[in-house]
Amino acid sequence: AQRVTQPEKLLSVFKGAPVELKCNYSYSGSPELFWYVQYSRQRLQLLLRHISRESIKGFTADLNKGETSFHLKKPFAQEEDSAMYYCALGIYNFNKFYFGSGTKLNVKP
């Protein structure tokens, strides 16, 4: 069975502080990991995916197969980063994408 775990429901930080949103996965095959974000009153959208190894809006995420983790990091949080963040596992053979329970990030001024 595959599972995506996001242990924090809510993460509050002050503007300018570093932020790390945790994601652990369980999958016996080769995983494709994603971070999706949902800003207030907007649709769910892709933030970044592990295979691209990009930095989007200052966020990065590294796939650690040994720890089965894909934590999302940003060195200096901004108020506009406040949103709901979902970690997702893609299983392409079956066109399946599974989402973690989500972490609400609140960046305080």
Q: Which of 71, 74, 100, 107 binds another protein (CB under 8 A)?
A: 100
Interaction of residue 28 with another protein, rule CB under 8 A: no
Q: Specify the residue for token string 């079956």.
A: 94
Which span (13-21, 23-31, 63-71, 85-93) binds another protein, by CB under 8 A?
85-93
Interaction of residue 27 with another protein, rule CB under 8 A: no
How far is 79 from 92, CA to CA, in rounded Å?
Answer: 34
**Residue closer to another protein (CB basis): 15 or 104:** 104
Inter-residue contact 93 to 80 (CB < 8 Å) = no
Interaction of residue 92 with another protein, rule CB under 8 A: yes
Interaction of residue 31 with another protein, rule CB under 8 A: no
Which span (22-30, 36-44, 57-65, 66-74) binds another protein, by CB under 8 A?
36-44
How far is 102 from 84, CA to CA, in rounded Å?
Answer: 6
DSSP string across 61-101:
E--BTTTTB--EEESS--GGG-EEEEEEEEEGGGTEEEE--
